[in-house]
Amino acid sequence: MDIHLSAVSEDEFDALFSVVKQSLYVYVDSVFGWDDDFQRHRLKTDYEPNWFYWIEVAAERVGLLCFKPYACAYHIHLLIVLPEFQNQQIGKAMMYELHHRAHRENRSRVTLSSFACNTNAIRFYQSLGYQVEARDEHFFSLAFSLADFQA
């Protein structure tokens, strides 16, 4: 699959917000209640612009990825595949691409959190080898070890 990332530019914030809201509204609303102003502010202040990438397949935007690099890991904040492109192995291909990138950069793991009510996401990550490290009423924390990763 011809999949790659392109940086989200600062003037594309409204498009980014629209994708995030479309994908996460139901989960955020059920746990915290959705507030547009709060969510916009959070995306602008809690995340660095250089963590956001459009996922593209054959030059078409099919989703959004947000991840933060740490010394020994990547932490995925968001992996969103647009509804019309789901069930085409794009999420899986993107995760493998990110695993390869982390491995090349000598990182030891990839971590993420998921809403506990997003059972499809949790099942997806576990199918890729992610292990649940912690959970509470609303969230699962998962990790993938690159120790045995075959690039």
Q: What pLDDT is attached to residue 1? A: 79
Residue at 135 is within a domain: yes
CA distance 108 to 129: 14
Contact between 144 and 108 (Cβ < 8 Å) = no
Contact between 55 and 64 (Cβ < 8 Å) = yes
Residue at 151 is within a domain: no
Q: How many domains does the chain have?
A: 1
Residue at 50 is within a domain: yes
Per-residue pLDDT of the chain (151 residues), as tens digits, is 789 999 999 999 999 999 999 999 999 999 999 999 999 999 999 999 999 999 999 989 999 999 999 999 999 999 999 999 999 999 999 999 999 999 999 999 999 999 999 999 999 999 999 999 999 999 999 999 999 777 6
Residue at 150 is within a domain: no
Give phi and psi for 143, each to the nearest 5.
-145, 150
Q: What pLDDT is attached to residue 150? A: 76
Q: What is the CATH number of the domain that holds 49?
A: 3.40.630.30
Residue at 99 is within a domain: yes
Q: What pLDDT is attached to residue 36? A: 97
E runs forming strands in the chain: 3-7, 52-57, 60-69, 73-81, 109-115, 131-135, 139-145
CA distance 94 to 55: 8
Contact between 8 and 18 (Cβ < 8 Å) = no
Residue type, 73: A
Look up the domain containing 8 and give its range: 3-145
CA distance 129 to 142: 10
